[in-house]
Amino acid sequence: MADSKPLDRIKSRLSPEAYQRLAAIQNPELHAFVAKYVEICNPARIFVCTDSEEDKAFIREEAIRSGEERPLKMPGHTLHYEHYDDQGRDKEHTKFLLPPGVDLGPDIGAMDKEEGLAEIHGILKDIMKDHTMYILFFTLGPTNSEFSIPAVQITDSPYVAHSEHLLYRSGYEDWRRLGEKARFFRFVHSEGELDERKNSKNLHLRRMYIDNENSTVYSTNTQYGGNTIGLKKLAMRLAIFRAEKEGWLTEHMLLMGVHGPAGRVTYFTGAFPSMCGKTSTAMIPGETILGDDIAYLFKKNGRVRAVNVEKGMFGIIEGINSVDDVIVWKALHSPGEIIFSNVLLCEDGTVYWNGKDGPVPERGYNHSGEWWKGKKDAKGKEIPPSHKNARFTLDLSLLENVSPRLHDPEGVEPAGFIYGGRDSDTWMPVRQAFDWDHGIITMGAFLESETTAATLGKEGVREFNPMSNLDFLSVPIGRYVGMNLDFGKGLTHPPAIFGVNYFLRDLETGKWLNDKTDKAIWLKWMELRAHGDVGAIQTPVGYIPKYEDLRRLFKEVHGKEYTKEDYVKQFSLRVPQFLAKTRRVMEIYRTTVANTPPVLFQVAEAEIARLEKARAEHGDIIPPDKFPVVA
């Protein structure tokens, strides 16, 4: 039987029903955790949520009643706003709490554990005295799966609770089944005091602290999903820390099925920084989505198994339109449970976002309050209709291309890993690595991308971002690269590794060389390459497509001609840019990253040697026909 003492300490604070729901989970460690934060946060009321639809409906209603969400014209649609200074991940105040002697390196924010715990508990003291505490149970990954992790979320925001029900699998019954066996993640969040718009008021006390040793995340005085939805990027830190010890991977990756010849479905994972095409890749018409953000990767019987941690999507809405984003556009304009955040509320009860089809409304209401065309902020800058990082939250079941294997407890076997970022002048649109180490190093560990509106700070700055996971690492970078390299050892069927770039520009004119829909072609080529169905051209930086294969795919998929001129512009090797990038990132590893695996430098130096040899033979910009075709 469970140790009832922790629950007995707070029994007077709980309704009989809430007490029985907690007691039914026979896990003393859980009871001690809940009791501790009931006593510290001092909520006015406590609601313990099960998997029932009635409990989920109660939370939805609370989100509207509290004013954190407002209903829209379309049935099931609601709208949420955050404070105008609380609409991106706050990297400055996201820190790991580390005991003495532990160092994660200069790129990972950290502080002394005892100091951090004292601060966060001081902030949490009585923070919920006027709020309801919601206690929610989830599984990160499919229920009844050996690959999943149970999690408990404490929050006083019905918007956060509602969001998590859309994004994650309810896990109350899984918790009851596991009992004391549950090795769980814990999350404590409070939005803090709210202003008249029901936004977090004390942003100077916004904190996101991660305690790896105790598998606990704290988040205070914020409502933005990236800072508050604990099971998302905050949970990634806990999972990466655990994965290193157990020999698996937690990656910032989409998970999708690409349809090939004769009804074949081939699964891929893909890592892209925010606003670099990850969600749009996962949503390509004709393919199937298992997830657009986070994947757990395990080795089983010499093969990789991958599961989507989530069952929903917290997607960037800017630019979504009926031509480029057919499937998600249809979902966003159909009845169903969807939360919109920081978009423009129109006078007719619909919403508008930057880049949506149709004319921009003259007036409305957005994160800045009453809005009109030409409205400017205090610095004289024009305020757009919706925030650049405005979002939508929905369950993947609303998408017509959702994979039937989304909830498969065995996961799926990916045939390929994809890495991509914003790169205007170097990477080709698609290429394949020579082998596991070459791909993990030159395409994953050497990934750079321009910053976007998804984080607070400047846009357009090219940043080093290994595997698109730098913001979420809980182990030093060198060890993380080593984890990825080691993961390939012992695989009897290692996935092929690809690099993609949707943002290549002409060196002379600066014009984009890729159309938004071209990514569908690159995926089809990768699917064929994963099975060895087409040959390729061997360049110093990997294998690239042959023109005739792409021409055929453009005709089959899009019904349009693909010119040799476009092909040459897109796939010519830009030697100076590749050399500069490789040397630039190598210098980072040499000077700022401790314990970098020596193979990283060996692989990079070999690539530099191949590039220098090619330049000596063919010049700075080398068209594809100068390189050999391989089977």
Residues belonging to the active site: 276
- Burial degree of 254 (CB within 10 A; 0-12, 13-18, 19+): buried
CA distances from residue 473 to 137, 250, 259, 381 in whole angstroms, order as listed: 25, 10, 33, 35
N-term to C-term CA, the chain? 64
Contact present, 304 and 491 (Cβ < 8 Å) = yes
Q: Shortest CA distance to 294 belongs to which of 339, 240, 224? A: 240
Instruction: Check: CB of residue 423 under 8 Å from CB of residue 277.
Output: no
Strands in 435-590 per DSSP E:
448-450, 462-464, 496-500, 536-539, 542-544, 573-574
* Cα 116 from Cα 574, distance rounded (Å): 47
CA distances from 311 to 60, 286, 407, 570 (A): 18, 20, 8, 36
Residue with tokens 């994947």: 295
Give residue for tokens 């390509």.
284
Burial class (CB in 10 A: 0-12, 13-18, 19+), 288: buried
Residue 183 backbone dihedrals phi, psi, to 5 degrees: -95, 90
Q: What are phi and psi of 261, to 5 degrees?
A: -65, 150
Amino acid at 196: E
Tokens, residue 489:
């050892």
Distance CA 443, CA 406 (A): 27
